Amino acid sequence: MKTYFLLPIIFLLLCNFASAQFAGMMRGQKQEPLPEGYKPASTNTFLARYPAVNSETRQAMFRVVAPTAEKVQLDLCNKKYDMTKDDEGVWTCISDPQVVGFHYYAILIDSVAVMDRNTEAFFGSNWESSGIEIPEGPEGDYYRFNKNIPHGHVRSVYYWSELNGLERHINVYVPPGYEQNNDQKYPVLYLVHGWGEDENGWSNQGKMANIMDVLIAKGEAVSMIVVMPSGDIKTNPDVREAKGNVTEIFANDLIPYIDQTFRTKTDRQNRAMAGLSRGGFQTCMTVFNNMDKFAWMGTFSGFFVRGNDVVNAFDGIFNDAPAFNKKMNLLFISTGTEERNPKEQVDALKAHGIDNIVFHESEGTAHEWLTWRRALKQFAPLVFK
Amino acid sequence: MKTYFLLPIIFLLLCNFASAQFAGMMRGQKQEPLPEGYKPASTNTFLARYPAVNSETRQAMFRVVAPTAEKVQLDLCNKKYDMTKDDEGVWTCISDPQVVGFHYYAILIDSVAVMDRNTEAFFGSNWESSGIEIPEGPEGDYYRFNKNIPHGHVRSVYYWSELNGLERHINVYVPPGYEQNNDQKYPVLYLVHGWGEDENGWSNQGKMANIMDVLIAKGEAVSMIVVMPSGDIKTNPDVREAKGNVTEIFANDLIPYIDQTFRTKTDRQNRAMAGLSRGGFQTCMTVFNNMDKFAWMGTFSGFFVRGNDVVNAFDGIFNDAPAFNKKMNLLFISTGTEERNPKEQVDALKAHGIDNIVFHESEGTAHEWLTWRRALKQFAPLVFK
């Protein structure tokens, strides 16, 4: 097979591949041994060796090629680390031990916050961010890809929203067997991201497909469709106009589209909604204003009743506790122990007679993805049963 | 609805959202009017106003907040532009006119190539890159989202590959109606990306779903499934071991998985393969070594026969021209007029008696995505007929 030119060499010379970029990449990834105990992070792009993580100490080592920069820092979980430069202009540092799971980070090149181009990009804080996955021990069994069980598919779908006046992107998880069982209809969970993230957060940062696959394979959760919309209703007004508000779009536009397009069970007993952080609030707004459409709900790190005043909270939805109990099979509220805790609100709701609450605390985690992976693992087995 | 705290404010103080990042974002996107004729690029993240593009002149204006940087440049299509700084540390520049379609670019902060965090991230040159879409005139009708026609779905699928010893990520486009027509089986096109990109390239940079939706709606292409695998067989050896070669994985591992999982027609008359650039070469290697499995093929900017020696090319696959003609219904070869042109090779093949060639030249485009969008538009209507 010698009858072809070495195409990659040619391509480097062409428009779309700047040689400086390529040189930078190669220098950043030179093949000297990684430090003892370190392996490339699973969030790295496929050839990248740094950042590298130590699964024992849960530290991460970062490396940036920036020979001409004056100062380079790592910004990880609200701490800035000064990086040190070697003779070739490669900057490195090792982080403190981190909580397992996913964390955003940035590199500061002469104080300008940029991404590390050797890790996958994740949308967070309303712009493209770098992320690193700190390896788990046995903890990760529920969110790792498991080759021995069947897998659902995440579908990337664009649909036209009349209320929004735009095409909207959603991700839809269909469970294993959906393809084969053509007569089966499924319950639907609507699952919303938080502030500054987007409809890809649950599948990329949250590993929701792996979590659902495992729960379904073990028989802990029923087979369900999971719809992940964007919680943002606006597009840039300079590009094109957007209309509607997100709760109306969810209730009156997205649900009908899903029920027309997928094999769904369409009664309220077979429809749930949950969200994290701001998505938890959007869940409350959507469900409480559409109690005829939902019978199960969850808010992960996102349920706040000011002053524990449950009587007046959310336009008085909890006023008539027996009526609420009768309608809502589950009000799941969760939090990390290292973030603002809604326990007093939960106690106030219970004291007021709201019976169907499940409260979950994620030990040792903050406002971060491990909290929400754990929340989904706790929540999904409770619905549609 | 005053019973909740303003969650976003709280979140900014928590682990995952560095305040410096947020401040940078806000400063970068201040709401002063865009220059006359400019609109935010469609590749921007949803609130970002820059880069902005002028659809008349096909120029783009870039903006970077970097008060502490000494020098900031734009690197776009092999040209570096010096950016100029205002009193607030905001750097701007306007590019030369660009070819419509998608282009990679980078920002150089004190000579370090980084991404623009206000545009979507695209995987190119084997790392995360910024990209900008230059708006089309009527040209774009075939690759724009069209709200008046039915839409297929792109499914994100992980499957376990025994040959590779890894879970592999593929994207699978299923055409409009696939959900509803449970008894229908479909032909399958395998469509491969080029060097330095990945299995997401065709749907993200290539807009293949929009292209297929339009072709199918017009009746120009038959309804088909399109499978987009990764052309890279390696994972980082420091992370985990990978086995196999890509043509064997495609032929002996991916095809059986697809035929088991989707409602496919499984005979060779209903299986095609095409690829761009290095993916065109991978297409040749896969198809020529598996003539019992494919009856249609295309190489976009990726067909090279050294010295036009068609007799010895690809281990002599063209030697017996009548045999090749009988087996292969279509050998589609395309290029942009501004890149290396395989016309002489095509002429040599024809002179040798290979009859079933279609040769397509994309006017005025180089080794870039507009060339490949046009190629798919030309190629897809020719297969399975």
pLDDT at A299 over 50: yes
Q: Cβ A261–B179 below 8 Å, yes or no?
A: yes
**B373 vs B172: CA distance, rounded Å:** 17
User: Who among A25, A40, A339 is closest to B14 (CB)?
Assistant: A339
Residues B327, B291: contact at Cβ < 8 Å? yes
pLDDT at B337 over 50: yes
Place of tokens 């202009």: A89
Q: How far is CA B26 from the centre of its chain?
A: 31
**A46 vs A40: CA distance, rounded Å:** 10
Residues of chain B with CATH 2.60.40.10: 37-135
Which of B112, B119, B183 is the best residue to mutate to test the A interface, defined by the most A CB atoms within 10 Å of its own CB? Answer: B112
Mean pLDDT of chain B: 89
What does the block give as tokens for B293?
A: 């499995």
Query: Going by C-beta distance under 8 Å and a sequence separation of 6 or more, which residues neighbour residue A148?
Result: none
Q: Pick the residue with more confidence: B136 or A197?
A: A197
The CA-based dihedral angle spanning residues A305, A307, A308, A312, taken in that order and rounded to the nearest 10 degrees = -70
Residue range A224-230: mean pLDDT, rounded: 97
Query: Going by C-beta distance under 8 Å and a sequence separation of 6 or more, which residues neighbour residue B255?
Result: B190, B271, B293
The confidence band for B370, taking pLDDT boundaries of 50, 70 and 90, is: very high
Q: Pick the residue with more confidence: B303 or A9?
A: B303
Mean pLDDT of chain A: 89
Residue B67, φ and ψ in degrees, nearest 5: -60, -30
Q: How far is B14 from chain A (nearest CA, A)?
A: 6
- Percent of chain A predicted with pLDDT > 70: 90
Q: Cβ A11–B367 below 8 Å, yes or no?
A: yes
User: What pLDDT was estimated at residue A139?
Assistant: 82
Helix (H) or strand (E) holding A61: strand A59-65
Residues B259, B294: contact at Cβ < 8 Å? no
Q: Cβ B314–A1 below 8 Å, yes or no?
A: yes
User: What pLDDT was estimated at residue B46?
Assistant: 80
User: Who among B40, B127, B315 is closest to A117 (CB)?
Assistant: B127
**A340 vs A334: CA distance, rounded Å:** 11
Q: Cβ A109–B110 below 8 Å, yes or no?
A: yes
Q: How far is A341 from chain B (nearest CA, A)?
A: 12
**B360 vs B367: CA distance, rounded Å:** 14
Residues B199, B167: contact at Cβ < 8 Å? no
Radius of gyration of chain A (CA): 23
User: Who among A45, A277, A314 is closest to B127 (CB)?
Assistant: A45
pLDDT at A11 over 90: no
Which of A104-108, A182-186, A329-333 has the weakest average pLDDT? A182-186
Residue range B251-262: mean pLDDT, rounded: 96
pLDDT at B172 over 70: yes
User: What pLDDT was estimated at residue B80?
Assistant: 98
Place of tokens 């929340």: A375
Q: Cβ A126–B304 below 8 Å, yes or no?
A: no
Residues A101, A375: contact at Cβ < 8 Å? no
Picking from A78, A86, A249, A280, the residue whose alpha carbon sits closest to that of residue A165 is A249
Running DSSP on this structure, what letter comes out for residue A319?
S
Measured between beta carbons, the chain B residues lying within 8 angstroms of A77 are: 15-16
Measured between beta carbons, the chain A residues lying within 8 angstroms of B199 are: none
Q: How far is A56 from chain B (nearest CA, A)?
A: 15
User: What pLDDT was estimated at residue B47?
Assistant: 80
pLDDT at A360 over 80: yes
The confidence band for A22, taking pLDDT boundaries of 50, 70 and 90, is: very low
pLDDT at A93 over 60: yes
Q: What is the CB neighbour count within 10 angstroms for residue A45?
A: 20
Picking from B334, B331, B329, the residue whose alpha carbon sits closest to that of residue B373 is B334
pLDDT at A6 over 70: no
Residue range B228-247: mean pLDDT, rounded: 77
Q: Pick the residue with more confidence: A356 or B233?
A: A356
Q: How far is B305 from chain A (nearest CA, A)?
A: 5
User: Who among B4, B66, B103 is closest to A112 (CB)?
Assistant: B66
Residue range A122-144: mean pLDDT, rounded: 91
Residue range B255-279: mean pLDDT, rounded: 97
Q: At what angle do helices A369-379 and A208-217 cross, to 10 degrees?
A: 30
The confidence band for B234, taking pLDDT boundaries of 50, 70 and 90, is: low
Q: How far is A157 from chain B (nearest CA, A)?
A: 5
**B85 vs B82: CA distance, rounded Å:** 10
Residue range A233-259: mean pLDDT, rounded: 82
Q: How far is CA B239 from the centre of its chain?
A: 27
User: Who among A112, A209, A340 is closest to B68 (CB)?
Assistant: A112
The confidence band for B13, taking pLDDT boundaries of 50, 70 and 90, is: very low
Residue type, B359: F
User: What pLDDT was estimated at residue B8?
Assistant: 37
User: Who among B4, B109, B315 is closest to A306 (CB)?
Assistant: B4
The confidence band for A30, taking pLDDT boundaries of 50, 70 and 90, is: low
Residue range B147-167: mean pLDDT, rounded: 92
Q: Pick the residue with more confidence: B385 or A20?
A: B385
Q: Cβ B126–A45 below 8 Å, yes or no?
A: yes
User: What pLDDT was estimated at residue A29?
Assistant: 52
Which of A22-31, A280-289, B361-370 has the weakest average pLDDT? A22-31
User: What pLDDT was estimated at residue B85?
Assistant: 97
Measured between beta carbons, the chain B residues lying within 8 angstroms of A4 are: 281, 304-306
SS3 string, chain B, reads CCCCCCHHHHHHCCCCCCHHHHHHHHHHCCCCCCCCCEEECCCECCCCCCCEEECCCCEEEEEEECCCCCCEEEEECCEEEECEECCCCEEEEECCCCCCEEEEEEEEECCEEECCCCECEEEECCEEEEEEEECCCHHHHHCCCCCCCCCCEEEEEEEEECCCCEEEEEEEEECCCCCCCCCCCECEEEEECCCCCCCCHHHHCCCHHHHHHHHHHCCCCCCCEEEECCCCCCCCCCCCCCCCCHHHHHHHHHHHHHHHHCCECCCHHHEEEEEECHHHHHHHHHHHCCCCCCCEEEEECCCCCHHHCCCCHHHHCCCCHHHHHHHCCEEEEEEECCCCCCHHHHHHHHHCCCCCEEEEEECCCCCCHHHHHHHHHHHHHHCCC
Measured between beta carbons, the chain A residues lying within 8 angstroms of B4 are: 281, 304-306
Q: How far is CA A224 from the centre of its chain?
A: 18
User: What pLDDT was estimated at residue B15?
Assistant: 33
pLDDT at B5 over 80: no
Measured between beta carbons, the chain A residues lying within 8 angstroms of B312 are: 3
Residues of chain A with CATH 3.40.50.1820: 141-382
Q: Cβ B4–A157 below 8 Å, yes or no?
A: no
User: What pLDDT was estimated at residue B239?
Assistant: 63
Q: Cβ A112–B65 below 8 Å, yes or no?
A: yes
Q: What is the CB neighbour count within 10 angstroms for residue B237?
A: 12
Measured between beta carbons, the chain A residues lying within 8 angstroms of B106 are: 18, 20-21
Residue B264, φ and ψ in degrees, nearest 5: -110, 155
Which of A5, A21, A64 is the best residue to mutate to test the B interface, defined by the most B CB atoms within 10 Å of its own CB? Answer: A21
Helix (H) or strand (E) holding A123: strand A121-124
Query: Going by C-beta distance under 8 Å and a sequence separation of 6 or more, which residues neighbour residue A196?
Result: A123, A124, A125, A126, B8, B11, B17
Q: What is the CB neighbour count within 10 angstroms for residue B224?
A: 24
Q: Considering the domain A141-382, what is its CATH architecture? A: 3-Layer(aba) Sandwich (3.40)
Residue range A263-268: mean pLDDT, rounded: 97
Q: Cβ A236–B48 below 8 Å, yes or no?
A: yes
Q: In chain A, whose CA is at the least distance from the CA of B90?
A: A112
**B321 vs B325: CA distance, rounded Å:** 6
Q: Which of A2-16, A284-298, B119-133 has the highest mean pLDDT?
A: A284-298
Picking from B155, B170, B174, B297, the residue whose alpha carbon sits closest to that of residue B229 is B170
Q: How far is A357 from chain B (nearest CA, A)?
A: 19
What does the block give as tokens for B295?
A: 């009856």
For the four alpha carbons of B132, B137, B143 and B148, in that order, the dihedral sign comes to positive
Q: Cβ B11–A195 below 8 Å, yes or no?
A: yes
User: What pLDDT was estimated at residue A232?
Assistant: 78
Residue range A280-299: mean pLDDT, rounded: 97
The confidence band for B350, taking pLDDT boundaries of 50, 70 and 90, is: very high
For the four alpha carbons of B7, B9, B14 and B15, in that order, the dihedral sign comes to positive
Q: Pick the residue with more confidence: B8 or A51?
A: A51
Place of tokens 């090792």: A94
A137-173: per-residue pLDDT in tens? 788 899 999 999 999 999 999 999 999 888 899 999 9
Q: At what angle do helices B369-379 and B208-217 cross, to 10 degrees?
A: 30
- Percent of chain A predicted with pLDDT > 90: 78
Helices (H) and strands (E) in chain A, counts: 10, 19
The confidence band for B106, taking pLDDT boundaries of 50, 70 and 90, is: very high
Q: How far apart are the first and last CA of chain A?
A: 59
**A358 vs A332: CA distance, rounded Å:** 5
Q: Cβ B39–A313 below 8 Å, yes or no?
A: no
Query: Going by C-beta distance under 8 Å and a sequence separation of 6 or more, which residues neighbour residue B222?
Result: B187, B216, B383, B384, B385
B36-90: per-residue pLDDT in tens? 999 999 999 888 889 999 999 999 999 999 999 999 999 999 999 999 999 999 9
Residue range A103-125: mean pLDDT, rounded: 94
User: What pLDDT was estimated at residue A239?
Assistant: 62
Q: How far is B66 from chain A (nearest CA, A)?
A: 6
B280-324: per-residue pLDDT in tens? 999 999 999 999 999 999 999 997 788 889 999 999 999 999 999
The topology (CATH level 3) of B37-135 is Immunoglobulin-like (2.60.40)
The CA-based dihedral angle spanning residues A142, A144, A148, A151, taken in that order and rounded to the nearest 10 degrees = 90
Q: Cβ A75–B235 below 8 Å, yes or no?
A: no
Alpha carbon separation from A134 to A42, A63, A77 (Å, rounded): 8, 16, 13
**A331 vs A329: CA distance, rounded Å:** 7
pLDDT at B168 over 50: yes
B53-63: per-residue pLDDT in tens? 999 999 999 99
